[in-house]
Structure 1
């Protein structure tokens, strides 16, 4: 992966000051506005996060049969995810290794991936299996031109990929979330495939923060569609491990089996394993930098965030239901009823997100303070800050080594009378 030199303003003092954002919520400050708006910081963030962390790209159920594939992109990298003949899920770059044409778009089923430009063909594992009229090209070997592959891991029915082949596995760091999600049985849950992804003009962290912000719940969303999930009933875990791959919070409801629709009650079958306690609350789980979950008794909204610049990101949004829910003859009508209510809430959130991005670019934007009801924002900071600081230390060491090497090379050249610069 390519990395760039950091802007001098992002120095040791800047990264040391980020500790204030990861402090306990009663002491913490928000991240500096540049972390949400600056293109150079986003380039750094690619190396700090996206080049080495596990990134959610979709659901296993999108690849039901051998030959099924779908495409996606994140931080400017076009990817194709496949299920091969051995029913294994594979992830690879979708950039043809001939002339950089994208070899697949959308989703479908195929025996191989055929580049439409010059008909180079790749197996569902990414191996180059055909390259027409290349027999006179000197030294050409198909094995040298396979599609670059990524690590793949599946968790709770979601597919994750990692550009870093040395990255440790994800699942061991999600034990805390596994316990919270166990009774939803997300691996068996079902739902319609998301349609065309959204593209939003704000930083991915703004979206992440809003998705899990209980502080605004019955303020911005004041009214009968949301008042049964009051901000005052937000609760947060006290025992999240420091090396966790995700975090969560609960929010109590004023009555059991609450749901976002005009009836305030569940419209779909309840997840059958939920306890009475779980039916009296909603849960919010986050796996930065790509997956956010909103869990109620009868449905789970999932949001897959795919950053593409400092101020924009793509979003794949879907809903999961208990097995069998989609067979109900009234399923579509129930979805319409639910979405008519949820769409009002979503519209309020999207407007706020857009205006927050505007505000963050102001000369008057500051590092604010948090309410106790915003502890989930501090949890995100606690996940981010060590990764930012570790990446800065790593890049600084690389820059120092490169400068030392260059200095040594200039000295050698000077010894033989060659002047540089």
Structure 2
């Protein structure tokens, strides 16, 4: 039987992943492959952090809804008659059939199996033929509801009803994103979600990695944004996100054959803004790639230790979609973006295979991989807190862990 990965030494050893970039090393391979660690991670991360589910503009009218799934939990997001956004489990409280699939507009959610009918707030309106059931009161039945917060037009939910607000911990990120006015950005409907056979962190690490840009993507479609011009702004200790800035070789660069913005640029961008691209991550579910004329919003949803789903939403400046050539411009941008994404996705799949190998080690970082250390600095304290709190019983001997910031001696012990 395979021994458990989870023990005090494992979590203590994570300290070396949050050292300054010149001393840090990667997370252990088991963090990306181990089924037991994934179950632990669901409690440490996904059950208590804010999770991106979609844009507010997807449900403009009362009754509009869409469905999604994160860590295997089916969720429905709906705009109520009062105009509020409600997030609920879509699992019927009778026999676990899903009460909503896909997207659309509804006056209520009727389970197709036995016709239990729920309001847009999740209250049971009717349960047919239940009059002979002892001690049954429909007033006691409610679809589980989740906390909701809107940030720059992005809908986030939280399974933890005691979770602190998200926005105060994203003030530094919001300041960097401010010129894009994302709350008012618009875009076409997202394509159907794609499923990928690699861990969600592999996707996150690749999305914000400055190191590979001039290597993997070297060539005409990407050489205007060289790795050597990347930088990683410092963030507050309690930040819920982080960014990479990457200078470009010319103004208003964009991912298409011309290397130039084809759509109207976001109107509030300064000259400095127009000579760089921006990458922002709000783990564990939202990754943004911001060019001067278009934003790629990647909704990453873990669904297993070595798999996740992702859909990509495109955002543009207000009025850009009125351009008669809008569809052609989007097609030109996406033709190049898809070539780049194909390269990324092949690498991500091969990395996941490599992480399963007995020869996979904890590697060292280049200075151009600062975002990886920032992700580690977000993850590791949450892993260690969860282990110490003994919130989950996953075996091993638990005791207080000496953190990297508790004593310099521990940091030195983990230096390579």
Query: What is the TM-score normalised by the length of structure 1?
Result: 0.92
Per the alignment, residue 403 of structure 2 pairs with none
Aligned counterparts, 1:317-328, within 5 A: 317-328=312-323
Per the alignment, residue 214 of structure 1 pairs with 210
Contact 2:40 2:394 in 1 (8 A): no
| Correspondence for 2:250 among 245, 251, 255 | 255
Question: Is 1:23 aligned to residue 19 of structure 2?
Answer: yes
Give the distance between the partners of 2:103 and 2:391, measured in 1 at CA: 41
Deviation at 1:329, TM superposition (A): 1.0
SS at match of 2:184: coil
Deviations 1:175-199 (A, max 9, x none): 1011011110111001112121000
Per the alignment, residue 303 of structure 2 pairs with 308
| Correspondence for 1:377 among 368, 372, 376 | 372
Unaligned segments of structure 2, at least 5 residues: 399-416
Identify if the C-alpha distance between structure 1 residues 197 and 396 changes in structure 2 by more than 3 Å, giving closer, same or farther: closer
SS at match of 1:219: coil
Deviation at 1:9, TM superposition (A): 3.3
Deviation at 1:399, TM superposition (A): 8.1
Give the distance between the partners of 1:380 and 1:143, measured in 2 at CA: 44
SS at match of 2:104: strand
Contact 1:7 1:40 in 2 (8 A): no
Give the distance between the partners of 1:396 and 1:167, measured in 2 at CA: 15
Contact 2:22 2:366 in 1 (8 A): yes
Per the alignment, residue 96 of structure 1 pairs with 92
Deviations 1:108-155 (A, max 9, x none): 001101111111111111111111111121111112211000000010
Contact 2:21 2:367 in 1 (8 A): yes
| Correspondence for 2:10 among 5, 14, 23 | 14
Deviation at 1:362, TM superposition (A): 0.4
Structure with greater contact order relative to length (CA < 8 Å, sep ≥ 6): 2
Contact 1:60 1:158 in 2 (8 A): yes
Per the alignment, residue 261 of structure 2 pairs with 266
SS at match of 2:390: helix
SS at match of 1:220: coil
Per the alignment, residue 112 of structure 1 pairs with 108
Unaligned segments of structure 1, at least 5 residues: 1-5, 404-421
Deviation at 1:396, TM superposition (A): 6.9
| Correspondence for 1:59 among 48, 51, 55 | 55
Deviations 1:1-31 (A, max 9, x none): xxxxx97431111101100001110000000
Identify if the C-alpha distance between structure 1 residues 338 and 398 changes in structure 2 by more than 3 Å, giving closer, same or farther: closer
| Correspondence for 2:336 among 335, 341, 350 | 341
Contact 1:292 1:304 in 2 (8 A): yes
Deviation at 1:398, TM superposition (A): 6.8
Give the distance between the partners of 1:351 and 1:73, measured in 2 at CA: 24
Give the distance between the partners of 1:15 and 1:99, measured in 2 at CA: 39
Question: Is 1:81 aligned to residue 77 of structure 2?
Answer: yes
Per the alignment, residue 332 of structure 1 pairs with 327
Per the alignment, residue 293 of structure 1 pairs with 288
Structure 1 stretches of 4+ with a deviation exceeding 6 A read 396-400
Give 1 or 2 for the bigger CA radius of gyration: 1
Per the alignment, residue 363 of structure 1 pairs with 358
Contact 1:59 1:159 in 2 (8 A): yes
Aligned counterparts, 1:169-180, within 5 A: 169-180=165-176
Contact 1:53 1:162 in 2 (8 A): yes
SS at match of 2:98: coil
Per the alignment, residue 189 of structure 2 pairs with 193
User: What is the Cα-based RMSD across aligned positions, in Å?
Assistant: 1.5
Deviation at 1:57, TM superposition (A): 0.4
Give the distance between the partners of 2:57 and 2:30, measured in 1 at CA: 38
Give the distance between the partners of 2:208 and 2:4, measured in 1 at CA: 33
Give the distance between the partners of 1:339 and 1:399, measured in 2 at CA: 44
Query: What is the TM-score normalised by the length of structure 2?
Result: 0.93
Contact 1:112 1:123 in 2 (8 A): yes
Per the alignment, residue 224 of structure 1 pairs with 220
Aligned counterparts, 1:121-140, within 5 A: 121-140=117-136
Per the alignment, residue 413 of structure 1 pairs with none
